[in-house]
Amino acid sequence: MDAILTLVANREATTLTPLDIDTVSTLSRGQRETVLSSGEAVDIACGPVSPEELDIIREALGTRPVDVLLASGVRRRKRLLVADMDSTMVASETLDDIAAEAERLRPGIGEAVAAVTRQSMNGEIDFQTSLRNRVALLEGLPASLLEDAALHMRLNEGARTLVATMNASGTVTALVSGGFTFFTSRVARLCGFSEHHANRLDISGQVLSGTVEEPILGPDAKLCHLTRIADAADIPLTDALAIGDGANDLPMLRAAGLGIAFHAKPVVRKQIVNRIDHTSLRSALFVQGYRADEFLTS
């Protein structure tokens, strides 16, 4: 078969039903089913499925908390993973977290920074400008706020599992973020990424300077890191998986053989075919054909 549709249910809310599977099989003209995780994930082998047909399939499931992802029937398991950090590997936007910690020192800064973050992630303002504007609001604040924010940072479900499982298969794994190396270094270590790349905050003594080292790592730089890492490892982009949630992730999501929008902003959901809307990062393994009993956690 030319393609594989992978159904993944939100295991905290429901289980896959025969009706879910039959509905998708009928609409996709599927001919073979493979269980990847009982009650949670199933592969359906089928012919070509257009983005429009995929939307119809999702609509047919109605309000069911089930994700439907599409992959080629060949070379499903990717040899390169490039992942965003904020709101992808971790649950929050770390710059917003810094500002939230600063509220006790500078009331109102939390919402001021979060408002610009929302504009940036929705593509309403270019990333470089938004980052400079947000960081400028931190000028004069103690650098210890970074450590305070890191203490509350939480990995998203499946983050360690995704990286550990792909590492065990010989995949090159990279964390590439428009956030800051202070946080990517920690997340890379916790998850086991081979390398990490992000922006650097300027700090004078123990105080935030309100500036970022240039050049800023934004959408184009994320794409450049994807292509650079792929070239260095002699991996074609068709064998790459990129995952992210915001407008600054769009170039790398489009370029990768498998680009996944993870609980993404509307501007990203409209442009990327594969979306994880209801489930966890585990789904990025299921869509590659990994069974749950192959998953690793460290």
The catalytic residue among 84, 96, 97, 245 is 84
Q: Which residues make Cβ contacts (< 8 Å) with residue 46, sequence separation at least 6?
A: 1, 2, 3, 4, 5, 25, 28, 29, 30, 31
Residue 84 designated active-site? yes
Residue 287 DSSP label: T
Cβ-proximal residues to 44 (8 Å cutoff; 6+ apart), any chain: 4, 5, 6, 7, 21, 24, 25, 28, 30, 32, 33
Of the residues 86, 96, 245, 249, which is catalytic? 86
Q: Which two tokens stand for residue 43?
A: 């592969």
Of 150, 156, 178, nearest to 246 by C-alpha is: 178
| Three-state secondary-structure class, residue 94 | helix
CB atoms within 10 A of CB 92: 15
| Active-site annotation, residues | 84, 86
